[in-house]
Amino acid sequence: DIQMTQSPSSLSASVGDRVTITCQASQDISNYLNWYQQKPGKAPKLLIYDASNLETGVPSRFGGSGSGTDFSLTISSLQPEDIATYYCQQYDTLSMFTFGPGTKVDLK
């Protein structure tokens, strides 16, 4: 099965900071990588699909990149409403869907 790792597991940043979260797959997953945001007590929200495509309605300060095994989610200018936990998720034909362990982002 494909394993997903994320780093860091948590981070503190200031409003306006550029924030980058990385996600690594244990095998090549091409661009089958999605990013979700989850706020406490809420359902996850899709931010980025297929590694780099911004979901409709998601602010343009969010961006995704990568292919193969290494991916990243970038928030170009952190806003207070971005405080959340972020998960990557991969798709493959054997293990289907696997989420990363999550990265918790809070304000410094």
Q: Which residues bind other proteins (CB under 8 A)?
A: 1, 32, 34, 36, 38, 43-46, 49-50, 55, 85, 87, 89, 91, 96-102
Q: Which is nearer to other proteins, 11 or 17 (CB)?
A: 11
The CB density around residue 39, as the number of other CB atoms within 10 Å, is 13
Q: Which is nearer to other proteins, 72 or 85 (CB)?
A: 85
Q: How far is the CB of 15 from other proteins (least distance, A)?
A: 26
Q: Which is nearer to other proteins, 72 or 89 (CB)?
A: 89
Q: How far is the CB of 58 from other proteins (least distance, A)?
A: 11
Amino acid type, 15: V
Backbone region of residue 67 per phi and psi (left: phi > 0; alpha: psi in -120 to 50; beta: other values): beta
Contact 34, 23 (CB under 8 A): no
CA 98 – CA 25 distance, rounded (Å): 10
Q: How far is the CB of 94 from other proteins (least distance, A)?
A: 10
Q: Which is nearer to other proteins, 17 or 91 (CB)?
A: 91
In sequence order, the β-bridge partners of residue 19 are 75
